[in-house]
Every structure is written in C-alpha cells, then in structure tokens.
Structure 1
C-alpha cells in the first residue's frame, strides 16, 4: 500500500472533565429542542457534539440533558430561591423544591453525527458561581428511557469572559444585588478543568448582540463509564 492510500486514523479526543451536577438537577423527561419557554434573555443556539473519547467516533442515540438558570439566576423548580444569596449546598436533592416550573430544561437524542441542538437563552448567574450550563449524557436503549439511570458523563459548560460581559449589560441581566464571579474566581471552574469545558461562542448578527449567540463544544466521553456525579438513586429525588 502506498503512502497516499494509507487510511487516516480517527481523531481521538481527551475525556471531557466531569463536574458536579449541583442541587438543582431534576429528571422531568422533557424531550425537546426549544427549552426556553419564553424566558427573557438573549437567544442562545447551542450545539454539542458527543464523541467517544477512545475512538473519536460520534456517539449516536445518547440522551443529552441540559439545565441552567434564567437571566436573573433562578432555576425552574427552585424559582423562589433568591439567586442573590449564596446557597451552601451542592448535593442533588439538598434544597427543597419550590415549584413545578420546567423552563430552561430539556433533553435531545444525539443524531448520527453525535450532535444535539438546543434553543435556549444565554444564562445569567447566581451568587457564588460564574455563568454555566449543566449537562448530563445518558446511554439509553432504543432511543427510549429504558436505561435512563445509566449516566455516563456529567459536566458543566462555561462561556468566554468577553462575551459574558457584553451579555450581562443587556436589560434582562442588569440590576443584580450579587456580584458575578469571573471564570477564574469560580472554584468549580478552577478545580475541575473548566477551561476545557468552555464553549466557542459567536454572535448571530454582525451589528448587535441582541440577536443572540451560537455556542458549540465537542464533548469526549467514555461510553462504558458510570458517572459518580448522578447516581441511580438520584433519579428518585425530584423525578418530575
């Protein structure tokens, strides 16, 4: 075989760093692309590519969940928790739910190229944290919820500082009592490999950020892994 006909080996990705799921994880079984439910804020079109870090191949049919706070720092299900007061809790189920809202939560199955797309808003922040989006990847059977407790990977997505500063000047995000942390000041970002989980973000329009943003990241996972961040018993806490 001559040099030109030598097969190109597949790209192998590093394992994306896992991060804590936080106290606001739920399992509302919302299979949908648009998760905004009319929440106020700048639009964010999010695309994630899930790949097998061992082989570089796309992971098809994985169930990808995302959840994040609104422009004011509140999470659905915990909308009455004051986001300007830091909560001393990290574990799933450690903060009692206050409502049955479902905004800014949803899941999608990855396509044949390992991609999922979500229409949402650029998140705000809550006291003690920088801007971020939570993600969980589950390996399921037959695009159903049969094996929904098999979570292979849990992480958080971060944003470039320069973009976030512009976003936080928009009307929906202004007037907060709590100061926003930079990525470097956020202990989870600093200690759990946040730089490797920072989205590539660019504006939808050329002239104004009011049109919103595109965001993308490739996430390398071990498809045979069982995450320690969301355990099977966690699905019995605030399942719906």
Structure 2
C-alpha cells in the first residue's frame, strides 16, 4: 500500500507521460472531426453539459450546447483508485453504494472529511446516440482527495478511512449526485475528482468491466475562493503554481471535463458535468 504527503509529486497521476496512446487517440479524434468524418466518430462523441448546466454556471464552467458534442476523455485513474487495481478494493465492501461520501463506512475508523460543502452531479449519456439518450442503470464510482490533499485508504494517517469514495446507479436521466467536500490542491495536479463508469451497479460493486475512466476539473475562480478559507492553506501555494493548461492531465484539452459550478463558501457549492460514453 502506497502513502504520500500533500507536497509529494504523484508520478502515477501524471496522465500525459503515462497515457500517450490515449492522448494520441484523442488528438486523432479532433483531427477527424475537423475533417468532417462524423459518421466514423459516432461512437466517440457526446454532449459537454447536461440540461441543468445552464442553471449552474461559473465564468469558467461548461456551457450547455447540443452543437458541442465530444466523448469524455479517457484519463489515468492515478495511484489511489481503491478499485483493486492498486491494492485495496473498496468497491466490494458493503456500504460503498451511497450518495453522501463525506464519512467513512463499514469497519473503518469512522472519520468524517472536513471542508467546504460540495454537491456534484454527473449525467451519463450515450455517445452513439449523439448525447440524446441518458444511460439509465449504469453506475459511477467517484473518489477524490481531502482538503489537505490526502487520499483515504492510501495516505499515511488515513489508511483506515474510506471517506470521499462512493458508488451510485444512474437514474432515468442518467444522473448520479454525491454530497462531499471541496477537494484540496496538491503538488503537481489541478483540483479534480476521479470517476469510473460501469455498465451496471453489479459490475461496479464487483469491480469488473469498467467502461470509462476520467476526471472532473474544477474552475479556477471557485478554487481560489475556497482555498482562502481555513483548512485549505496548503492548497493556495499549490494552485498558484498550476494552470489547467499546464496540468499533466488537462493540458491537452478540458472542454468535456470542466464542471459548471455555482454557490458560496457559506452555503456550499454545486457542480454539474455531463459524461458522454
């Protein structure tokens, strides 16, 4: 089991150097799309934002437009997935299917992640139908770091915790919603949330047949506001050294990954993103 500190550079989380075949494929998709090869890309395109995104926008959020369709990029799961691919497997534990992921569950230490409240929704749609069909009955597993940049199950001091991880089945609109806290920013990575899409809840809870792995990015203006609050002090310097354009995962394009966010520190934030698979 690996551990890390908030100032450690996560080599396995640097998507550009580790996922060159994926990035090459994504660049080829853009080239083909520019040449009008729409038919050949039918299985690789989707919408960038859900119908509710127009109600939840920030200056850098994703806008809703039927004309802006592209499949969610495949990204690295990083070194702390908790899905059995790197040691511990939280997906097979009773209690992982839940909406509120702020607390640990099961036989873990029972801790609660502290931070500015964040509720985020992912809407999974079918890429082959041109974003028009919600993926009802799919499942989404999400995980992210705490406000100090640590990951439950892996980081020293919280290896007995499993908070900020959870699974849900998509509803009739293809949507899942999680209650959490705003993640911190650690060395070398833009603030983000990891997610895996599965064909069904059964697939997710048996940790088999992942269909897509990607990451949600959070807007800079919101991050700066949140990181000015108590508990996020270390994130201020880390964020100041980064940009979406320099991040190892998002620098080759983040249009389909930048969430639309609104809210306040006092009342909490909401984030939305549509995921075309």
Instruction: Sort the TM-score into its range (normalised by shorter chain).
Output: 0.7 to 0.9
State yes or no: 1:185 paired with 2:246.
yes
Residues 159-213 of structure 1: per-residue CA shift (max 9 Å, x gap): 111111111111020145962222222121103x32320000000xxxx522210
Task: Tell me, yes or no, if the aligned pair for 2:136 and 2:174 is still in contact at 8 Å.
Answer: yes
SS of the counterpart of 1:179? helix
Structure 1: gaps of 5 or more residues: 1-9, 82-97, 222-240
Counterparts of 1:118 and 1:177, CA distance in 2: 25
Distance between the aligned counterparts of 2:136 and 2:220, measured in 1? 32
Q: What is the 5 A alignment of 1:43-82?
A: 43-55=117-129, 56-80=132-156
Per-residue deviation, 1:112: 1.0
Measured after TM superposition, the shift of residue 144 of structure 1 is 2.4
- Indicate whether 1:210 and 2:210 are aligned: no
* Alpha carbons 2:227, 2:236 under 8 Å: kept: no
Residue matched to 2:71: 15
The structure 1 segments of at least 4 consecutive aligned residues displaced by more than 3 Å after TM superposition are 10-13, 145-148, 175-178
Q: How many residues are treated as equivalent by the alignment?
A: 189
Question: Is 117-126 or 175-184 further displaced after alignment?
Answer: 175-184
**TM-score, normalised by the number of residues in structure 2:** 0.64
* Unaligned 5+ runs, structure 2: 1-46, 48-65, 84-89, 104-111
Counterpart selection for 1:36 from 77, 80, 102: 102
Q: RMSD of the alignment, in Å?
A: 2.1
TM-score normalized with structure 1 length: 0.73
Indicate the larger mover: 61-70 or 180-189: 180-189
The 3-state SS of whatever aligns with 1:194 is coil
